[in-house]
Amino acid sequence: MNLKKTTLGLIAVAVTTIGMSTASACTALHLKAQDDGIVVGRTMEFGLDVKSDAVIVPAGTELLSSLPKEANGIKYTTKYGVVGLNFMGKNMIVDGMNEKGMYVGALYLPGYASYPKVKAETSSKSMAPEDYVVWLLGNFSSVEEIKKNYNNVILVQNPQKEIGGESFPGHFLITDKSGASIVIEPLDNALKIYENPLGVLTNSPTFDWHMINLSNYVNLSATNVPKIDLTGKTINSFGQGSGLVGIPGDFTPPSRFVRAVAFAQSAITLPTANETMPQVFHIMNSFDIPLGSIQEKAGDKIHYDYTQWTSVADLKNLSYSVKTYDNQSIRKIDVKKALDAAKSGVKVIKLKSEQAIEDISTNF
């Protein structure tokens, strides 16, 4: 095991390209409250600073997908207002929800996602993959609507210098306020859709593989294993948590998928979505990747994949909350209030801030 300390200053190489493997550690899940409220949590990990800010896109906003070689992709006007987080300061949303209580998140799928090249005859219905989230949120209000319309656009190659000249290798988690959930993956130059009964998604390999892999862990349980009586000896487990002995604890996507399913399925169902929001943050804390725990060598440089932000979307009460690496305080956006204040045109709320620490030394 090699855990030798390396220079953290190398994180400053924010304008260099990185390998796809360094950017593949996002986790998403949802819980349902007793009041039927659905609350979705998601982490964002990446090998360089993603520079995410909150973006407000009101209904009636005209959007155009930019494609390679100055080609113009699909042009449309949003039907619903959208709140979410962008990526690398670009005019794109990788995670968010709309005013109808639907969530969409783009998570990395390196090594599997593939897109066709744009064709002149179909460019008007083509779209860069990084624009897919806001198109889904801006035009549809439920999983059922998306099932009927997800393939009405063509996701095409659109190389990004920030990720080594590759097109954004994403797959997409969609969850609506009813709790219905699906995954859309760009495989073999076409979009494939899966039902997602457990509401969980991580990264590579493909979603169907992760679901099959769960069969390796049917022994896991949140209930402690009882003592056993052997010949002349009673054996007790050491402490709490014996039912989950064997749950994978590393940061790879398959292991995180198993843990996400285990924690989501064993979570206590709370009375309201409001109470469930901090509960989801607690669960997502278990997927935090500390800076330095994942290192990727790229020539003479080292990139550190770490948790840069965690978002929680309350689909019942229409709130979108986030905490960042630099500031663990939870900041909430009331979707309706933000859209009313934005009125028209895309607005940005800066998230970069220092950690606020409350001094309670004399609070007695």
The answer to whether residue 88 scores a pLDDT higher than 90 is no
The answer to whether residue 322 scores a pLDDT higher than 90 is yes
The stretch 139-148 carries a mean pLDDT of 99
The stretch 148-164 carries a mean pLDDT of 92
pLDDT at 344: 85
Structural domains for the chain: 8-347 (3.60.60.10)
pLDDT at 230: 95
Q: Name the CA dihedral angle for 121, 91, 179, 270, rounded to a multiple of 10 degrees.
A: 170
The answer to whether residue 13 scores a pLDDT higher than 50 is no
Positive or negative, the CA dihedral 348, 313, 27, 166 is negative
The answer to whether residue 5 scores a pLDDT higher than 70 is no
Band of pLDDT at residue 89, cut at 50, 70 and 90:
confident
pLDDT at 17: 40
CA distances from 165 to 19, 52, 70, 160 (A): 10, 20, 16, 5
The answer to whether residue 362 scores a pLDDT higher than 90 is yes
Q: Where are the beta strands (DSSP E) in 143-255?
A: 154-155, 170-176, 181-187, 190-195, 228-230, 233-235
The answer to whether residue 32 scores a pLDDT higher than 50 is yes
The number of C-alpha atoms within 13 Å of 347 and in the hemisphere containing its C-beta is 17
**Radius of gyration (C-alpha) of the chain in whole angstroms:** 21
The stretch 127-152 carries a mean pLDDT of 98
Using alpha carbons, select from 61, 24, 27 the residue that is nearest to residue 42: 27
Band of pLDDT at residue 123, cut at 50, 70 and 90:
very high
What would the two tokens of residue 149 be? 């319309």
65 vs 96, residue with greater confidence: 96
The answer to whether residue 4 scores a pLDDT higher than 60 is no
Distance CA 45, CA 310 (A): 9
Count other Cβ atoms within 10 Å, centred on residue 91. Answer: 15
The stretch 109-134 carries a mean pLDDT of 95
Q: What is the pLDDT of residues 193-208, one digit of tens each?
A: 999 999 999 999 999 9
Distance CA 270, CA 156 (A): 42
Average pLDDT over all residues of the chain: 92
Band of pLDDT at residue 90, cut at 50, 70 and 90:
confident
Q: What is the pLDDT of residues 41-74, one digit of tens each?
A: 999 999 888 999 999 999 999 999 988 877 789 9
Distance CA 73, CA 140 (A): 19
The stretch 5-24 carries a mean pLDDT of 37
Band of pLDDT at residue 163, cut at 50, 70 and 90:
confident
pLDDT at 91: 76
Q: What is the pLDDT of residues 212-257, one digit of tens each?
A: 999 999 999 999 999 999 998 999 999 999 999 999 999 999 999 9
Band of pLDDT at residue 24, cut at 50, 70 and 90:
low
- pTM, to two decimals: 0.92
**Catalytic annotation present for 26:** yes
pLDDT at 356: 87
List 23, 26, 244, 302, catalytic entry: 26
